[in-house]
Amino acid sequence: MSSPEKVTAQIKAPTSFLLGLACAGIALFLIAALIELPDEALGLTELSKQHMDESGVEHPVTAVLLNFRAYDTWLEVGVLLMAVMGMLLFQRRSDLRDIERMPAPDPVLNWLIQLLFPMMVLVSGYLLWMGKFSSGGAFQAGVVLGAGGVLLWLAGHPSISGFSGRLFRFLLTVGFGSFLLVAFYNVLLSQAILDYPVAYAGTIILIIEAAATISIAVTVAALIIGLQPVIRDRDRTPLEPH
Amino acid sequence: MSQYLAYSITGMIIFALGLHGLVVLSHILRKIICINVMAGGVFLFLISVAARNFDEFPDPVPQAMLLTGVVVALSATAFAVALARRIYTVTGQAELIDEDDPS
Amino acid sequence: MSVNEWVLDGLIMLTLVVLAIRVLYTRELFKSVFLFIVFGLLMALAWVRLKAPDIALAEAAIGAGLTGVLLLDAARHFNRPRPIPHPKD
């Protein structure tokens, strides 16, 4: 087995050079296509501006994410969920309770984290709220919160590995589930699947965003923490049959 | 040549570089990094297209796509890393080499 | 667009391309991952130049921060001898 340290090219130098030429060709084609784009862009800025009144929020990116193209966001939260499910599936566990904990940190780091983590929760909530008016929203808020969870865990705290299995799975699915509830409600009333009434659009978006923030945070933290070795790593049954 | 066009071309060059790396390099982790570099090129292209011809506010649709795209890229990377570590644990191989290939 | 802005943009683009090459073909895996983190941060800077500061923030946190943590951890894993021997060995 070769050392993983060095760059190992499976392909020999002449072939590699030819492949380089092919990739350069692809790049040239793409650039040629770019240059042929019309100068006058017919983007969707105007269209989204016209419908901002109906969206219930004041920031165009949030309006697109949670209202005009809510489908995309819904399925995207679904993709996150599937990534976690895939990871847990082939690790043969349903929660992170058996993850090995990091050793307790020195007092200075501990103090820093006690200071930083509440700030991160605060910033996350602020970003979530600000999404209605300006830059911010569920994704940024979720990632900040998730990074806070990872930080907490790196400092030897249980973080999300302290959640019980049921709570962990609930938090993972609550974002996807809230979209599903809205869709189900709309189907019952035989409306378009993700159509919010204009009067309540802002509130519904905030609730969905809050749920999505929690799901994104737990998912991001689980994807990073879940890669760590478990306690009793050697006792676990290997995945392949003997 | 405008600013957005220059950045789009840079994005395409980065995409092609990542593609070349993906085909040539054989270490699994390097392949994952290559895919991330390719994603970076695509993101740069989308952002620059969103910014063209708009002085006050760029096109929100590509920006929203990007925001979801960045998070999906992270989760896909995490899943790929989990798979790669499993492959390394089970087979001891960190390189993806086609054994039938005579070269 | 002033000349200064063009110089700044040109520098960012050139550094991005050079960094991409270095990320792919650096000999050491760890160095490659570190360069990738720098690449992500510079990418965020380019997005700020393209009037998308909020997404740039997200990219700095995700593309450079969290992906960096993931890849660094994985690089450490790959540089260790593997933990469980294969039954067929």
The pLDDT, as a whole number, for residue A6 is 45
* Paired residues of A230 in beta bridges: A99
The pLDDT confidence band at residue A119, using thresholds 50, 70 and 90, is very high
Mutate to test the interface with A, among C54, C73, C79 (most CBs of A within 10 A): C54
Q: Which residues from C are below 8 Å from A147, CB to CB?
A: 61, 65-66
Q: Which two tokens stand for residue A82?
A: 């599937």
| Residue C58 covered by a domain | yes
Q: Which residues from C are below 8 Å from A225, CB to CB?
A: none
Q: Are C27 and C68 in contact (CB under 8 A)?
A: no
Q: Is the pLDDT of residue A130 over 90?
A: no
Q: Is the pLDDT of residue A64 over 90?
A: no
Q: Are A45 and B60 in contact (CB under 8 A)?
A: yes
How many domains does chain C divide into?
1
What residue of A is the nearest CA neighbor of C86?
A: A238
Alpha-carbon distance A61 to A25, whole Å? 35
What residue of A is the nearest CA neighbor of C79?
A: A4
For residue C28, report the phi and psi dihedrals to the nearest 5 degrees: -90, 135
Q: Which residues from B are below 8 Å from C62, CB to CB?
A: 70-71, 73-74
The pLDDT confidence band at residue A186, using thresholds 50, 70 and 90, is confident
The pLDDT, as a whole number, for residue A3 is 43
Domain range for C67 is 3-79
- A2-6, A221-225, B96-100: least confident range: A2-6
Q: Which two tokens stand for residue A171?
A: 């938090």
Alpha-carbon distance C37 to C19, whole Å? 10
The pLDDT, as a whole number, for residue C36 is 94
Q: Which of C62, C70, C82 sits opposite B70 (nearest CB)?
A: C62
| Residue C84 covered by a domain | no
Q: Do B30 and C77 lie within an 8 Å CB cutoff?
A: no
The pLDDT, as a whole number, for residue B10 is 93
For residue A82, report the phi and psi dihedrals to the nearest 5 degrees: -70, -35
Mutate to test the interface with B, among C19, C42, C78, C89 (most CBs of B within 10 A): C78
Nearest-neighbour CA in chain A from C15: distance (Å): 18
The pLDDT, as a whole number, for residue A155 is 81
The residue type of C51 is K
Nearest-neighbour CA in chain C from B101: distance (Å): 23
Q: Which residues lie closer than 8 Å to C76 by C-beta, 6 or more apart?
A: none
The strand ranges marked E within C1-89 are none
Domain range for B43 is 3-91
The pLDDT confidence band at residue C27, using thresholds 50, 70 and 90, is confident
| Residue C10 covered by a domain | yes
Model pLDDT for residues A14-45, shown as the tens digit of each residue: 888 888 889 899 999 988 888 887 766 666 77
Q: Is the pLDDT of residue A73 over 50?
A: yes
Name the more confident of A226 and A229: A226
Alpha-carbon distance B78 to A145, whole Å? 17
Q: Is the pLDDT of residue A134 over 90?
A: no
The pLDDT, as a whole number, for residue A4 is 43
Considering A8-12, B60-64, B95-99, the range whose residues carry the highest mean pLDDT is B60-64
| Residue C88 covered by a domain | no
Domain CATH number, residue B27: 1.10.287.3510
The pLDDT confidence band at residue B41, using thresholds 50, 70 and 90, is very high
Alpha-carbon distance A169 to A218, whole Å? 9
Q: Which residues from B are below 8 Å from A227, CB to CB?
A: 78, 81-82, 85
| Residue C87 covered by a domain | no
Q: What share of chain C is helix, strand, coil (3-state, %, to 5)?
A: 80, 0, 20
The pLDDT, as a whole number, for residue A234 is 45
Of C9, C10, C13, whose CA–CA distance to C39 is shortest? Answer: C13
Per domain, the residue ranges of chain A are 58-230
The pLDDT, as a whole number, for residue B55 is 62
Q: What share of chain A has pLDDT > 90, as a percent? A: 17
| Residue C86 covered by a domain | no
Q: Crossing angle for the helix pair B3-24 and A13-35, nearest 10 degrees?
A: 150
- A5-14, A24-33, A61-70, A219-228: least confident range: A5-14
- What does the CA dihedral B57, B59, B64, B65 come to, rounded to 10 degrees? -150
| Residue B102 covered by a domain | no
Alpha-carbon distance B94 to A3, whole Å? 9
How many domains does chain B divide into?
1
Model pLDDT for residues C29-59, shown as the tens digit of each residue: 899 999 999 999 999 999 988 888 878 888 8
Q: Is the pLDDT of residue A195 over 80?
A: no
